[in-house]
Amino acid sequence: MSTIIRTRSPFFIRTPQQTSSSLSYFQITISIFSGLSTSTTPCDDLAVSYQLQKKPLGTENSVTVDISEIVNDQLEQIFTGTYSASSAKASVWVTVTTSARQSDGTIIGSATSNTYLAQEGFNKFKEGVNYTTEPIAMISGSYIQYDRNGTATIPVNVERVTSVQWRSGTAVRETDSFSDNGNSNQKIQYAQFTNTTLLDNVLITYDDSSTTTITLDPVEECKFPVNKITFVNRWGAMQDLFFFKKSVDSLESRSENYNRSIFKARTVSLSEGEEPEGPCEETITFNSYSTTAHAKKTFNANATESVLLNSGFVNELMNPYFEELMVSENIWLTDSNNVIYPVNLKESSFTKKTGLNDRLINYTMSFEKAFDLVNNIR
């Protein structure tokens, strides 16, 4: 099992101690690449290296560096509707090599090297430094609500998961099998079920033959068009949330204005003369302006589209998913016509609801499309 770096939180590297009196600084080389961790020729689409130098403070004989932001710059997830194709750079290998150096660059002793698997997730404050524990699946709960007429999707880490069984009770309707080929591009994979067969649970089997069950709650919406929000969760995987009830589209425009002079001190107008082949006649007008011209002129006019979504009644066990959606940096909306839009969440606060306090739980959230109505991509 690889040691995971969740790049949205700090990940600290501490160099081995070096007591040599000739110690001047430590050199830390960070190599980021995709493909196989043992490959000597990483994939061409990603192979970058950074070299840091840091002097120990006072009588210290080692140094600490945070590599998370450097690594995070190399991760990218673009959702196209196909989950496996969208995760090509969702995981990358990171090899960190540290060495103690003299002032002239001569290495002291031998270098130390470790390889990690980096993903675009985050840790929570209470979990402390360099938290690397993996969840049941790559979601933060054991309950999922999905559109019965759509597709149920569960992200898994194939270093641990060998199979996912989609079940009705104990009856297996479909089985997704997984194997780890060592390629970083395929560390996060997605179990999917597209069928109107009523499911109520998923059985996940691990490489040590242990199992865990996730409860499924299929919802069939008969009145409103269903919208799907796909977001990158705290584990660095894509996760779906369905909004089954009323949606409202809106538009917010913006522009700039300036006052301009439409006064014409002298205007020359040309018209055809009386002779068919003769010269044009010239008419000169002094001190005039057009009453249909804009004295106040608008420019840089554009607009942003937004959509207000309602989840419908959900179980409070889904609260962790909405919490992670609030802090996700990558969100997409798939509307009822199966059109995908990149969006940003407009909400800045989230009140967790419970069955005890609120009885029936519905969440209303507003999303802003992450582009302008008027195309201004240059």
Residue 368 — very low, low, confident or very high, per pLDDT cuts 50/70/90? very high
Does residue 144 contact residue 228 with C-beta atoms inside 8 Å?
no
Give residue 277's pLDDT. Answer: 66
Which residues 6+ apart lie within 8 Å of 100 measured at CB? 15, 16, 18, 20, 23, 26, 107, 108, 109
Does residue 120 contact residue 75 with C-beta atoms inside 8 Å?
yes
Give residue 315's pLDDT. Answer: 93
Instruction: Measure CA 224 to chain center.
Output: 27
Does residue 15 contact residue 63 with C-beta atoms inside 8 Å?
yes
Residue 211 — very low, low, confident or very high, per pLDDT cuts 50/70/90? very high
- 26: helix, coil or strand? strand
**Would you give the DSSP letter of residue 184?**
G
3-state helix/strand/coil string of 145-183? EEECCCCEEEEEECCCEEEEEEEECCEEEEEEECCCCCE
Map out the domains of the chain with their CATH numbers.
4-127 (2.60.40), 135-220 (2.60.40.10), 221-259+297-378 (2.30.110), 260-296 (no CATH)
- Residue 289 has φ and ψ, to the nearest 5°, of -155, 155
Does residue 229 contact residue 325 with C-beta atoms inside 8 Å?
yes
- 27: helix, coil or strand? strand
Give residue 280's pLDDT. Answer: 75
**What confidence tens digit (pLDDT) does each residue in 114-151 have?**
999 999 999 999 999 999 887 768 999 999 999 999 99
Which pTM does this prediction carry? 0.89
Helices vs strands, H then E, count in the chain: 4, 23
The rounded distance, in Å, linking the Cα atoms of 343 and 302 is: 17
Per-residue tokens: 264: 């014409």
